[in-house]
Structure formats: C-alpha cells, structure tokens
Amino acid sequence: MSRSTGRHGWTLVSAVMALSAFLAVAHAQGSEAALSNARLRQPRDRAFLTSAIRGAARRLGDPRCQELLGELRDRSRRPLRETLEAEGVSAPEFLGRLYFYDGTESGCGAQRLAYTVPGYRVVYVCSKRFRDVYQRNTSLAEVAVVHEALHCLGLGENPPTPQQINARVQAACRE
C-alpha cells in the first residue's frame, strides 16, 4: 500500500485482516453455513447469533440432546429424528440449512427471542432481546436456537408450551 493512502488506508487493511482472521476461525470450526445464514442487520447481533448457533450445534451433537429428536414429534406424530434421516443430515448440520433473519418489526412479542413456523427453514430473531439475553446468559440463547430448530423440524407448540420445550432442551442438552 502506498503512503498516499494515509492513516485510513491502514485502518482498512487492519479491518480486512481482522475480518479474514475471524472468518478463518469460523471456517475452522465448521460454521461457515451459520455465518452466511445469520442475516441480522447489525454485525454485533450477527456475531452473537452465530456464536449461539455454534453452541446449539455442539449441544445437538451430544447423544443426550439427540434423544429429544426421538421423543418429540411433529404434528403428524412422526419423531423429529425421521425428518433428519429423510434429509440425510445430522442435527448440527441441519442448523446450517436454516436461515436467521431479523424479525423485530414483524412478530416479537413481549417475551420472544425468536420464532418460526413448524416445518419452515426461516427463523426470525428478536435482535435486541436476543442480544440482551446472549450477553447475560449465553446458554439461554443457545437453548433458544435449539428450540427454534426443533420447530423447523416440525415440532408444534401448545402443547407443548414454549416453557416446556425450553425446560426439556435445558435438561437434555446441557453442556
């Protein structure tokens, strides 16, 4: 880089180098799909969500957590595990097939961190609330991602209630 770029040129180079390092680490951890599918507006919110997705993938890779996939059923009473088997993917890989968008303006109620429709591949994240929870308790943010992934696999709600789903995920998917 020439001297004519000045201080701002070096700042840009530093930023590009930092981003490259971040992407290299993310790739090494196998979460490039999570990076590209976490489509929140704010970079900090994307980073928190991506971290929560990685944590959720670790949890879903644990055999104790995977037991939920045999216990919980979709609306046609089929175990959620069968959906994964039909797609030929593992539970952690399934997270890479989901898309996360900011849903703040369309459906964030008083307590929601995220929401989706059973069987859909799009999860809407209530960015500010998700960020606040992530900063206070990363584990709860990861549980929320697992919760929404279960819905994406077809799990309905009411019954079980959101609180019941979270309690089951917390019990089965502890780290």
pLDDT digits (tens, 9 = 90+) for 101-145: 999 888 887 788 999 999 999 999 999 999 999 999 999 999 999
SS3 109: coil
Same domain, 105 and 123: yes
Same domain, 1 and 39: no
Same domain, 93 and 10: no
Q: Rounded to two decimals, what is the model's pTM?
A: 0.81
CATH number at residue 62: 3.40.390
Residue 110 has what pLDDT? Answer: 75
Q: How far is it, in rounded angstroms, from Cα 75 to Cα 26?
A: 35
Maximum Cα interatomic distance, the chain, rounded to a whole number of Å: 67
Same domain, 127 and 156: yes
Q: Torsion over CA of 132, 136, 139 and 141, rounded to 10 degrees?
A: 0
Same domain, 25 and 38: no
The structural domain count of the chain equals: 2
Domain span at 15: 1-30
